Amino acid sequence: MTTRRPIASFRPRLIDALAGYNRERFLKDAAAGATVGIVALPLAMAFAIASGLKPEAGIWTAIIAGFLISALGGSAVQIGGPAGAFIVIVYGIVERYGVANLLIATACAGVLLFLLGLFRLGTLVRYVPVSIVIGFTNGIAALILISQIKDWLGLSIEKMPADMFSQLHALATHLDTFNPYAFGLGLACLVGLFAWPRLLHDSTRFGHAVRIVLGRVADTRAVRAGSRVPGPIVALVTLTLVSWGFSLQVETIGTRFGGIPQGLPAFALPDFSWETVKQLVTPTLTIAALGAIESLLCARIADQVSGLPRHDPNQELMAQGIANTVAPFFGGMPATGTIARTVTNVRAGATSPIAGIVHAMSLMAVVLVAAPLAQHVPLAVLAGILVFVAWNMGEWREFSPYMLRRFSRHYRLLMLGTFFLTVVFDLTVAVQAGIVLACALFIRRMSGLFNVEMVSLEPPVLTFRLYGALFFGAAAKLDAAAQAVERAPRGMTVVLDAMHLISLDATGLDALRQLHKTVLGRGGALSIESLQPQPLEVIVRSGFADELASGMPRADEG
- In DSSP terms, 337 is beta-bridged to 80
Give residue-wise pLDDT tens across range 40-87. 989 999 999 999 999 999 999 999 999 999 999 999 999 999 998 899
Mean pLDDT of 191-202: 76
pLDDT higher than threshold 90 for residue 403: no
Q: pLDDT class for 378, splitting at 50, 70, 90?
A: very high
SS (H, E, C) 448-496: HHCEEEEEEEECCEEEEEEEEEECCCCHHHHHHHHHHHHHCCCCCEEEE
Q: What is the reported pLDDT for 1?
A: 41
The percent of residues in the chain predicted with pLDDT above 90, rounded, is 56
Nearest to 478 by CA among 502, 446, 514: 514
Across the chain, mean pLDDT equals: 88
Rg (C-alpha) for the chain, rounded Å, is 30
pTM recorded for the entire structure: 0.80
Mean pLDDT of 1-26: 83
Nearest to 288 by CA among 341, 337, 324, 332: 324
pLDDT higher than threshold 90 for residue 318: yes
Give residue-wise pLDDT tens across range 209-225. 545 544 544 445 544 55
Nearest to 484 by CA among 507, 461, 513: 461
Residue 337: exposed, middle, or buried by beta-carbon count in 10 A (0-12, 13-18, 19+)? buried
| 332/62 Cα distance (integer angstroms) | 9
pLDDT higher than threshold 60 for residue 501: yes
Q: pLDDT class for 385, splitting at 50, 70, 90?
A: very high
Nearest to 531 by CA among 522, 523, 541: 541
pLDDT higher than threshold 90 for residue 196: no
Mean pLDDT of 372-378: 88
The percent of residues in the chain predicted with pLDDT above 70, rounded, is 93
pLDDT higher than threshold 60 for residue 334: yes
Give residue-wise pLDDT tens across range 250-303. 999 999 988 888 788 888 877 777 888 888 998 999 899 889 988 988 998 899
Q: What is the reported pLDDT for 555?
A: 57
Q: What is the reported pLDDT for 212?
A: 52
Mean pLDDT of 18-34: 92
Mean pLDDT of 355-384: 91
Q: What is the reported pLDDT for 217?
A: 46
Least confident of 96-105, 265-274, 342-351: 265-274
Q: pLDDT class for 7, splitting at 50, 70, 90?
A: confident
Cβ count within 10 A of residue 553: 16
Least confident of 109-113, 139-143, 265-269, 283-287: 265-269
| 381/508 Cα distance (integer angstroms) | 61
Task: Quote the distance between the C-alpha of residue 343 and its chain's center.
Answer: 16
Task: Quote the distance between the C-alpha of residue 94 and its chain's center.
Answer: 21
| 529/311 Cα distance (integer angstroms) | 45
Q: What is the reported pLDDT for 224?
A: 54
Mean pLDDT of 470-475: 90
SS (H, E, C) 332-394: CCCCEECHHHHHHHHHCCCCCCHHHHHHHHHHHHHHHHHHHHHHHCEHHHHHHHHHHHHHHHC
pLDDT higher than threshold 60 for residue 472: yes
Q: What is the reported pLDDT for 448?
A: 85
Q: What is the reported pLDDT for 231?
A: 84
Nearest to 350 by CA among 35, 103, 8, 5: 35
Q: How much helix, strand and coil, in percent to the nearest 5, is found in the chain?
A: 70, 5, 25
Give residue-wise pLDDT tens across range 151-183. 999 999 988 887 888 999 999 999 999 999 999
Give residue-wise pLDDT tens across range 516-535. 999 999 999 999 999 999 99
Tell whether the torsion through CA atoms of 160, 165, 166 and 171 is positive or negative: positive
pLDDT higher than threshold 90 for residue 497: yes
Spatial contact of 246 and 188, defined as CB atoms under 8 Å apart: no
Q: What is the reported pLDDT for 554?
A: 65
Mean pLDDT of 380-398: 91
Nearest to 64 by CA among 394, 326, 274, 374: 326
Spatial contact of 494 and 525, defined as CB atoms under 8 Å apart: yes
| 548/492 Cα distance (integer angstroms) | 15
